[in-house]
Amino acid sequence: MERLNLSPGRRKVLKLETFLIVLMISLLPSISIFLFSNQWKVMQAEKLLKNNPIVFNNITNFDYESLPNQVQMLKLSFQKKATDLEIANNSIRTYVTDSFKSFFFVKYILTQLINNPNQVYVTKIIYDGTTFYVDFYEYGIETKVSTSTIYNELSKFYNNVSVNLVEERNFISNIKYYRYSLGGMK
């Protein structure tokens, strides 16, 4: 028969091997969570860099902690640059449109009058930046100026366009004098 020491005063002894096994078992979850969180940060950083390659080229510090903030700051700066470029584009477009509207009526009227077989003389062109006024007259047997065509073309770009035959009278025998006025607003 074996002797058992079941007395309450006996000291319990833990072997070193048992202690190390218990220690490993208790530390294993915390170590695995630590390693998983580090791997998760690396995966999230790779995902950010994959989705934003332009930002990746401008990143200065590859610290995984500050990487999302750097990406966000660079993204905001690129968005600001994009809005600045859009504003500049709109201002250039407005300038070109205004320049076109400022001189289109002169160019159009002069082309119409040059292609006219009758003698046409422009007496007055007034343009103040918003409104224009052209006064011209034509000599011929019959008028070759088409007021409806001029009105239709100019009303595509201008407001309150008016083309009027102001005066018509006989000049010499069957040659007549036609006076026109043309006006509109940008």
Distance CA 137, CA 86 (A): 46
Inform me whether the pLDDT recorded for 1 exceeds 60: no
Residue 160 DSSP class: E
Give me the pLDDT at residue 62, please: 67
Dihedral in degrees, nearest 10, Cα atoms 34, 35, 41, 44: -130
Tens of pLDDT, residues 34-71: 999 989 988 887 887 788 777 667 766 666 677 777 77
DSSP assignments along 88-133, one per residue: HHHHHHHHHHHHHHHHHHHHHHHHHHHT-SSEEEEEEEEE-SSEEE
Q: How confident is the model at residue 7 (pLDDT cuts 50, 70, 90)?
A: low
Q: Is residue 26 packed enough to be buried (19+ CB in 10 Å), middle (13-18) or exposed (0-12)?
A: exposed
Inform me whether the pLDDT recorded for 176 exceeds 90: no
Tens of pLDDT, residues 95-124: 888 888 777 877 888 888 788 888 888 888
Distance CA 162, CA 147 (A): 9
Q: Please report, as a single letter, which amino acid is at residue 146.
A: S
pTM, 2 dp: 0.49
Distance CA 55, CA 63 (A): 15
E strand intervals along the chain? 119-127, 131-140, 159-172, 175-185
Could you tell me if 135 and 122 are in contact, meaning their C-beta atoms sit under 8 angstroms apart? yes
Spacing of C-alpha 75 from chain mean position: 16
Distance CA 32, CA 38 (A): 10
Mean pLDDT confidence for 20-47: 89
Distance CA 86, CA 92 (A): 10
Q: Tell me which residue of 116, 110, 108 sits closest to 144, measured CA to CA.
A: 116
Give me the pLDDT at residue 138, please: 85
Distance CA 100, CA 184 (A): 15
